[in-house]
Amino acid sequence: MRALLSLACAAVLATSVGAGPAHAAAPAPAPDWTDCQDGFQCAKLPVPLDYDHPEGEQIQLAMIRLPAADPVHRIGSLFVNFGGPGGDGVEHLRQRAHWDWLFSEQLRKRFDLVSWDPRGVGKSVPVNCFPNTASRDEFMARIPAFPDTAAERTAFYRDNRELANRCRTQSGRLLDHVSTADTARDLDRMRGAVGDSALNYHGISYGTQLGATYASLFPNRVRAMVFDGSLDFQGNSTGHSDQGRTTPLDTRQRVPEGVADTFASFLRQCAAPDARCAFAGGDLEAKFAALTAAARQKPLVVDGTSYTYADVINEVNGKLASPDRWQDMAVLLQKLYVASGEPQTGKAPPGASAPYQDNSGEAFNAIQCADSIVPRGSEPYTRAAARETHRVPYWGALGVYDMMPCAYWRAHATDRYLGPYDRSPAPILMINSRHDPSTPLAGARDGQRELRNARMLVVNGSGHSTMLVRSHCAEAVKRDYLFTLHRPRDGATCDIDDTPFDEVPPPPD
């Protein structure tokens, strides 16, 4: 499906389509790899801050690689982006390179696994919106996942506007140069620097948007691409028809429906006769309705922590992506259900005093707000929240408000890419869970139709991407594709390795 862009986007689109290789800088030098423990090698690579001025100010990208274990039969480098936007790559690869359901031993023999902290992230010139972590923690603790009353909305809008202003003040012109198109140009520099004539790439979640952007800007420099947990690319950048100016980003990406579908899968599996699920027993939908209704009246206290309605919804949403966390979620829901019948007094909401370990939150906003056309100001969100809360109970408002800083963002990404995404003839393999709360299968299918040559493998499980939904079958399909460029028929399926409620759940306290 090719989205029809609004007239307001047309001039920008015409400019951005041709904005890629025309900004080419001099070839990057080969990375100076040094040992950084456990078989990994690390390096810094210089790239232009502004590709309109490629010989101007340079920034350093932090890279990491795990060399191929069988260099004689090495195919090349496999660049991996683990998602976000705003997620780091250096530590993620260090932690996950040996997850055999994601990168099997056979795959590690034939490819160098390479990742990096994208510009704006972690060790690569990070975006910061506060002078120190203490001030950031204090400020962010007062912003709920979404507002649930008129009074909460007023404060929510005010704080998100202030957040956007703080980011501009603290990070300055860096915010103008952290779009996905800028990172795609960085990726092409890295590809050339490691000596690969064409790119091999595995993008997870947001990493699929980066992959689609790279393939559009450099359509003839792609050998193989795996899109794992895929976005609707046009939906993410401009929306379809006039959505960019009227519809919040995750709403038009169908994320609330994906969350509702995955939560329904959680309830079905929890209620199964052989499931070992702490929330089991009785009508699970009615139990969830009862505990959320009680949390709306007064925060529920579990283990000394106070949960508002927004906290409950956000907590469940955060755990749905990973089936490994469903046991813990079931325990928490049961405790909340029990607490919903008791008088409530408690402490601050969860996370209020938890220290930030990285800048992923700021980087998420910086990249997403640079990439996407979204409604500006507060009124479109107030209207959308009322509509979506009715249309998708529990989850609709979360999808409306989760990128609220973008409504007030103060940066101008001159080189962002807004589509189209069908420029590359390269064969692309897409993989998506049947029940995915973050990248719903329906949205991934929209993204597939926006590409020229993509096939979809569906994993019969619940959760977000094969990084979190374990399927050795899917890894074998991916591996065969990366070795041979052979893809299964469109719509082929793989089963998961195990189900969330196979193991005995931890006992409630």
DSSP-derived letter for residue 328 is: H
Report in angstroms the alpha-carbon separations of 444 from 238, 435, 453, 465, 483.
16, 11, 14, 11, 24
Question: SS in 3 state form for 453-464?
Answer: CEEEEEEEEECC
Mean pLDDT of 325-338: 97
pLDDT digits (tens, 9 = 90+) for 378-435: 999 999 999 999 999 999 999 999 999 999 999 989 899 999 999 999 999 999 999 9
3 state SS of 151: helix
Q: Are strands 76-81 and 199-204 parallel, antiparallel or unpaired?
A: parallel
- Asked whether residue 2 carries a pLDDT value surpassing 90, the answer given is no
Asked if the bond preceding 420 is cis, omega within 30° of 0, the reply is: yes
pLDDT digits (tens, 9 = 90+) for 211-233: 999 999 999 999 999 999 999 99
Predicted pLDDT of residue 348: 41
Predicted pLDDT of residue 412: 87
Query: To the nearest whole percent, how much of the chain has pLDDT over 90?
Result: 87
Predicted pLDDT of residue 357: 53
Q: Which of 448, 466, 468, 1 is nearest to 231 (CA)?
A: 448
Report in angstroms the alpha-carbon separations of 71 from 42, 110, 113, 148, 271.
18, 7, 13, 57, 50
- Phi and psi based region of residue 465 (left: phi greater than 0; alpha: psi -120 to 50; beta: remaining): left
pLDDT digits (tens, 9 = 90+) for 111-122: 999 999 999 999
**Mean pLDDT over all residues of the chain?**
91
Interhelix angle 180-193/206-217, rounded to 10 degrees, is 70
| Residue pair 241/443 in contact by the 8 Å Cβ criterion | no
Predicted pLDDT of residue 331: 97
Alpha carbons within 13 A on the beta-carbon side of 486: 7
Pick the CATH number of 7-126+176-239+417-495 from 3.40.50.300, 1.10.1740.10, 3.30.70.330, 3.40.50.1820: 3.40.50.1820
**Euclidean distance between the first and the last CA atom of the chain, given in angstroms as a whole number:** 51
Q: What is the pTM of this model?
A: 0.92
